[in-house]
Amino acid sequence: HALRCSIKQFDVCLRAFGLRKVEGMTLGFGPFSFLGYAMLPDPIGVVVHDRLQDFSNRGFPLLRSAGNQYLVLARKEHNATS
């Protein structure tokens, strides 16, 4: 069972657990289907995914946060009193 939340909500959870996001990105586009029916043949879907992922990696608006997964590099915050 997967829990879905926005990127903003996830970042808030990171901070609540004492983590600081160093970098974050979304990845994964497709499969391209509608109501269980494939909209693109797999070979074309892979090409479309690669192109969308390239735009996302370059920070294009809308696409930079539209991937299926959110990958984060985070660091544990150190308390000044520790």
pLDDT above 90 for 14: yes
Nearest to 53 by CA among 40, 71, 66: 66
Say what the pLDDT of residue 1 is: 61
**Model pTM above 0.95:** no
Dihedral sign for Cα atoms in the order 56, 60, 61, 62: negative
Per-residue pLDDT band for 78 (boundaries 50, 70, 90) equals confident
24-to-7, 12, 21, 70, 80 alpha-carbon distances in Å: 9, 13, 7, 7, 25
Tell me how many degrees the CA angle 49-6-52 measures, rounded to the nearest 5.
15
pLDDT tens by residue, 19-69: 999 999 999 998 899 998 999 999 999 999 999 999 999 989 888 889 999
